[in-house]
Structure 1
Amino acid sequence: MTESLLSERRGSVLRLTLNRPDKLNAIDVPLLDALTAALEAAERDPEVRAIVLAGAGRAFCAGADIGQMIERTPDDWERTVDHYLDPIRAISRMGKPVVARLHGNVFGGGLGLAIACDFRVAADDARFCAPFVKLALAGCDMSAGYFLPRLIGLGRAT
């Protein structure tokens, strides 16, 4: 089984790579947990001075793995949606810069993850999409609805 999150240190920079390229790095619960744990560990590690968040394969991140959410009860759904904010909370509390290295699809929760970072560097092929409302997932935006207007202004975000 392939690790869903790769971690590589180069000097004081930690590179975390979402590694589900067959699913365009869609975030499932194991990846969510691994990413949150890695971010929290990086915050505590005095040797890490910056974090780069990237995606393996042809996309940064296609968002949440919707397939794993279909069978959820309403209570499960609420807990899961809150759980998807854990890496966003970790980035927000981070006392070190987090850089999103973006390419290909930066969709849904992947967009939320990217805009929660301190800096974003996008390749020419990066495509951004916030499909939450059209998918009836307005509460599942991984903070995009909070950060996007603050990043680009309300007029451009709506």
Structure 2
Amino acid sequence: MSDDTTAVGNETTPGTETESDRATDRAVDESERQRVHVTRGLVDVLLDMAEEAEPASMNLVLAPTPAGEFDDDLGLDPETPVLTHFYMAEAGQSVSAVFGMDLGTPAGRGRARFLTHPQGPFELTERDDLAAVVLLAVPPWEGRTLAAFDRAGRKLKLVVLDAEPPREELD
């Protein structure tokens, strides 16, 4: 059977999809949504910062770069977000305090957060600032004590990529 035909009953009809094909596509889509991609460099910096900040907790906004913007082929769909940057919480705080607006994070960024729980637990709590994706770390500040969660607290698969994000230049 060629790639552009699918089985329907005992016959093959070009261009038709079976319910099984649609279920497989939905499972692949769901599997991709349950993955969070992050560069090793960002993970290393975040864990180092968490260790230096201990016993204080951290709460940083993370920003992605589409996989297609990397110089190297990451083997991902070009639109797949890869977490590559963070924004310091202090940026824009004086304006935020007066006007209640977060001006420290560029528009369209910040759908992910990095949080630490220096005294535990290794799960999201009701006190945490949530985002679509939350990277949570606990001591000892290592890769095995870093995990990704969705806003409902469900654990996601964290994929650490050995890739350098594209260089950004100021105009």
Normalization by structure 2: what TM-score? 0.28
* Higher helix proportion (structure 1 or 2): 1
Q: Which has the larger radius of gyration?
A: 2
